[in-house]
Structure 1
Amino acid sequence: MGNKSTLCLVVDRWHFGYVGAYGNTWVPTPELDRLAARGFVFDQALIDTPDLERLYRAWWRGWPVIRRREPPEDWPSLARQLAGLGVHTALLTDEPLLAQSPLAEDFAEVVLWESASEARVAETIEETHTARCFAQMVDWLEKAPRPFWLWCHWTGFGGPWDGPLELRESFREEGDPPAYAGSQPPEKHWQSPPDPDELLAYSFAYAGQAMVLDACLGGLATFLAESGLEKEVLWVLLGARGYPLGEHGRVGPCDEALYSELVQVPWIMVYPDGLGATARSQALVEPADLWATLLSWWGLPADPAAPTAYDLTPIVREEVLSVRDRICLVHPAGQQAIRTPAWYLRTTESLEEEKGWELYVKPDDRWEVNNVADRCPEVAEALKQAFEQTGQHLQTGRLADLPPLDELLRVGIE
């Protein structure tokens, strides 16, 4: 196994549109940009559910939400398998629900950071909740037993917005409203178009938080370089869920509507040997793939009973372009969606209901602005059937018999 360890850093409520590596040009994130340049970027990474418990079931056990039923009791978690190799496993988080979840029981060490639900706006970056979490992460790494798998989940932008006002106000131009000055993440849902100035004020505050995160990532990168850990650690940087900032009349989680601002997330992998550096992929990837990819990294075979979890290493090595032609998403309240390389279909009801269908052209319609369901009913119907077929084949264990999508659903309309 040699000197091989893994650091997985998960940032919750991270809007991928505020990341330079994903096209943002107005929020300066130089440290994150450097990190992305050293690593491999997945441009089309989607979560398959906004439910945190089910999301972690996919990350840690390779069990996607569309499989409906619960995994068998003896289904091995990644932490349990790594413990069998002599790897020290640890979970560090400020999310009590995760630390207390049965899913976390297989970790050798679970550390619950102090939450900061009542935090006030800080005067400096060093005083923020984010900086304190990163400092505790570095403290752990300084004493870490080798080899290790460290998973850090930080409530991120769903936690206190305590970034200094100076950072928020730095985005204002003449005529702009003042930045949102509160520390509680806003959550609003409008039925009519919201006030643009109110949205701008929230976006300034969110951008300030993004700068705090960037500075902390820079400090962590410096520590890994100076300590020599960057030469032996696979670093995975993930978004858990996005944070709507005015798209589709929502700010904050609200009803967790399955739009891109919620379900498309950053995913960057930095390998110690430079594998995949400066490269990126348009392949559709989902949470269960991380489970399979980490198993591969540690030299463990993926369970054949997890047919929807793919090792992404061949994509990073540029041996293949993609591993799937669809991702199925499920909301705990009944919303469902399916994403292909060319389309995104979502419903406000279950897929048995025709009411509430929305269809968008991908990847062109990045923020799902132009609903074309009325103009392409045959596409919507075919995608509905593809969702149903995928679920049926999974439940019966016949995924190998699932037919590939036809060209219209994969490529779109010329």
Structure 2
Amino acid sequence: MNVVVFVVDRLHAGFLGAYGNTWIETPAFDRWAADSCVFAQFLIDSPDLARLYRSYWSGLHAMCARPGADAGRPVLPALFSSSGAATALVTDEESLTRSAMAAQFDECVLVEPCWQPEIAADVSQTQLARGTMAALSWLEQANGPFLLWCHLAGLGRTWDAPASMREMYRQEGDPPAFPAADPPDRQLNAEADPDEAWAAAITYAAQVTVLDQCLGAFDEYFRGSRFAADTALVFTSARGFPLGEHGRIGPGNQSLFGELVQAPLMIRLPDGTGALQRRFDLVEPCDVWATLLSLGGIVHRPDSPTAIDLTPILRGEGSAARDRLCAAGAGERAIRTPAWFLRQSASCELYVKPDDFWEANNVAVRCPEIVECLGDALVEFDQTVQHGRAADLPPLPRALVEGLD
């Protein structure tokens, strides 16, 4: 089976209809979601792009620091190549092309970014459109089997949506949309005007609409292509984009809140298996690595401390038997269970899940025992992935999985 992976960086999951949004028009995403298995609790394990792609391409969790773990380890494109598949990376993220893992792709297509971003006259002139067209151009000349990985810097580098789109979501009394194409990146203080965050949100929404139109054009071409009957499509994001939820607009200090670590993940199989499923399993980037290898028919693969193959879930044959996800950032760590989210930085913050979706109500002071137990579970996970498998961890206590009565 051929595999196409679309990764759009800095896409906030909360701006898609499949993840609860009701005010932004995204018909292409809605159609893609309807034809896919949608994973509602997919969290990245690191906001650092290099560490994240280590998980995507080598199946090693961002917190795995085993000595020599990466030495000689075959990465995703090399494993596909060894099975006889052509592999290509299409991206406008130059730093990604410089990684040793990216060098394992047969072909690397760099879409030159605009170093002086400007508001586009129409969608076809946007950076997202250029990246999408580069992926389509590669597909037009491809011969299966293949792995096409398309990573677009997307919503973190350029907000070049046409002026007409920037007005789509403004209502009477709303602040004007941002007038420039450079995404904002600033800390909000206590006296900040709330209109600033809303102006960022409606401008960002216009950029999501651009992305939706680009995805729609790709999907229209793909459905009529010679590959449609034998190609799996995966859509996800590398990181989200804070829009004032916790006092920050833009990536900034990369605090491990949901707006940054919660990412969309949709997997569409050519025969429709898994369509219309909405799954609440806890899923991480290493699972994408394992799933892609299965979709590509690659049986012999290196071991991974944390990865779970999602293909049985797509076929309705099981679930991701995991009771925790862990993530690491710059000076921060976090753990997510079905019932809780703990963020450790200078202090600990605790949020009830799934009710408090975007972490608005910190209950750490009210639940000190839960904070302590989750902290211990995070340490236990960290120690285990250095020398063993997360699947061998003992189950978490009931209160950490089901919450308090």
TM-score scaled by structure 2? 0.97
User: 1:394 Cα deviation (Å)?
Assistant: 2.0
Query: What's the counterpart of residue 71 of structure 1?
Result: 69
Query: What's the counterpart of residue 396 of structure 1?
Result: 387
Find 1:337's aligned residue among 334, 337, 350.
Answer: 334
Look up the SS of the partner of 1:227 in the other structure.
coil
Match runs of 1:295-306 below 5 Å: 295-301=293-299, 303=301, 305-306=303-304
Query: What's the counterpart of residue 51 of structure 1?
Result: 48
Query: What's the counterpart of residue 208 of structure 1?
Result: 206
Cα distance in 2, alignment partners of residues 128 and 401 from structure 1: 47
- Please identify, of 299-308 and 117-126, the stretch whose mean Cα deviation from structure 2 is larger: 299-308
Query: What's the counterpart of residue 32 of structure 1?
Result: 29
Find 1:167's aligned residue among 162, 165, 168.
Answer: 165
Residues 380/86 of structure 1: CA separation in 2 closer, same or farther (3 Å cut): same
Find 1:382's aligned residue among 364, 373, 388.
Answer: 373
Match runs of 1:7-406 below 5 Å: 7-69=4-66, 71-192=69-190, 194-301=192-299, 303=301, 305-331=303-329, 333-349=330-346, 356-397=347-388, 399=390, 401-406=392-397
Find 1:407's aligned residue among 375, 398, 401.
Answer: 398
Tell me which amino acid in the other structure corresponds to 1:134: T
Contact map agreement 2:26 2:212 (CA 8 A) in 1: yes
Equivalences, count: 404
Cα distance in 1, alignment partners of residues 360 and 142 from structure 2: 47
Q: Deviations over 1:323-350 (max 9, x none)?
A: 211011101x22001000100000114x
Contact map agreement 1:13 1:156 (CA 8 A) in 2: yes
Residues 302/358 of structure 1: CA separation in 2 closer, same or farther (3 Å cut): farther
List gaps (5 residues or longer) in structure 1: 350-355
List gaps (5 residues or longer) in structure 2: none
Residues 410/304 of structure 1: CA separation in 2 closer, same or farther (3 Å cut): farther
Cα distance in 2, alignment partners of residues 402 and 373 from structure 1: 25
TM-score scaled by structure 1? 0.95
Q: Deviations over 1:82-132 (max 9, x none)?
A: 111110011010001001111111111111111113121012111111111
Cα distance in 2, alignment partners of residues 403 and 182 from structure 1: 52
Contact map agreement 2:127 2:158 (CA 8 A) in 1: yes
Cα distance in 2, alignment partners of residues 302 and 366 from structure 1: 38
Cα distance in 2, alignment partners of residues 218 and 413 from structure 1: 44
% identity of equivalent residues:
48
Look up the SS of the partner of 2:38 in the other structure.
strand
Contact map agreement 1:39 1:277 (CA 8 A) in 2: yes
Cα distance in 1, alignment partners of residues 13 and 159 from structure 2: 17
CA-atom RMSD in angstroms: 1.3
Cα distance in 2, alignment partners of residues 396 and 175 from structure 1: 57
